[in-house]
Amino acid sequence: MKKIIVLGAGMVGRAMAIDLSSNYIVTSVDLNKDNLDMLKRKKIKTICADLSSAEVIANLVKDNDFVVGAVPGFMGFETLRNVIKSGKDVVDISFFPEDAFELDRLAKKHKVTAVVDCGVAPGMSNLILGYHNKRMKVENFEFIVGGLPLIRVYPFQYKAPFSPVDVIEEYTRPARFMENGKIVVKPALSEPENYNFTEVGTLVGFNTDGLRTLLKTMKIPNMKEKTLRYPGYLELIKLIKDCGFFDTNEIEINGTKIRPIDFSSKILFPQWKLGEFEEEFTAMRILIEGTEKGKEKTYVYSLFDIYDSETETSSMARTTGYSATAVVNLILTDKFRRNGVNPPEYIGESEVCFNFIMNYLKKRKIYFEKNEII
């Protein structure tokens, strides 16, 4: 039986470890003992270790057949680099800000298949676009996505279903879009729009930097992405941001230097912490417009997934984590193999791979509803 090591035991990392443990020998690694304790009842081997050390990573992965990266975004790039240097195939969901293709040459040198941005969005959004882009001329691609609690608690009406550090990064990193064949940069949180979802009513979408690798891999003239939140949340976050609470430059208070973002994180994170059994949902809508076989065609994919009370697994952990574990199984069963750095859109080009992942998710009650408009 093959051995898999999961680096990071946060909410999504734990869900992946549990899912993979059905067919593989799984080890989970994290510096947070509380995260690891949640896995002990699942009979998964746990190791408490500092994953910021290249030497530690090399020693951890050497006796394993496959690596899954689930560390916070600020650690993701270097962690992935160290895994690749160890010559291990890897699927990563850390969504780091750096350009993953900077590691492409290294991955090819070590004959490593490295799949990055392998979650729900980015991830499934890329996979679905990759599938259709191979079969039609796409002119416009848009997607909106958000993970939110079912019960709205003021003032934020929000809980972080993944690393809260990465949430703030979404609000400060400039958003890149493709408009008329050119990359356009806009401020994060800009251009709000209302979207209606039957299950929860009106949500507000705003600009974030979610296209990522698609800006390099896809020659599509128009592409954009927006993040969804409950009404009222955007104004509150913009006020906090505009007042300087997300600034990274140090200020001095009574002789002590502190970064405003560090102070804000300490205040916000307890309020944003998702309860272990708290019900939440993932909502996503994907629009693909273009020409297929000489005819104008529009595809709309919709996802609305909620907390699974049977397995006590959050929706964001399910939709993000199981998208990644599907790809792990894809590689370990030799259905996909390409040395180098691979975003999900590369995988989606193959009908075999596309169908494998969709079926894998269906078996776990994650359904993407597809509609065609001719």
Locate tokens 């600034």: which residue?
A: 247
**Per-residue pLDDT tens digits for 71-124:** 998 999 999 999 999 999 999 999 998 999 999 999 999 999 999 999 999 999
**Per-residue pLDDT tens digits for 273-320:** 888 789 999 999 999 999 999 999 999 999 999 999 998 899 999 999
Label residue 41 by pLDDT band (50, 70, 90). Answer: confident
For the chain, the first-to-last Cα distance in angstroms comes to: 47
Burial bucket for residue 262 (CB in 10 Å: 0-12, 13-18, 19+): exposed
Burial bucket for residue 154 (CB in 10 Å: 0-12, 13-18, 19+): exposed
Distance from C-alpha of 293 to C-alpha of 295, rounded to nearest angstrom: 6
Mean predicted lDDT score pLDDT of the chain: 95
For the residues of 304-354, what is the DSSP string, one character each?
Answer: EEE-BTTTTB-HHHHHHHHHHHHHHHHHHTTS---SEEE-HHHHHTSHHHH
Residue 38 has pLDDT above 80, yes or no: yes
Per-residue DSSP letter, 273 = B
Q: Residue 188 has which token pair? A: 């994060």
CB 300 within 8 A of CB 373: yes
Label residue 163 by pLDDT band (50, 70, 90). Answer: low
Domain formed by 3-119+315-367, architecture: 3-Layer(aba) Sandwich (3.40)
Assigned CATH for 124-306: 3.30.360.10
* Domain assignments of the chain as residue spans, ordered by start: 3-119+315-367, 124-306
Locate tokens 């160290």: which residue?
A: 82
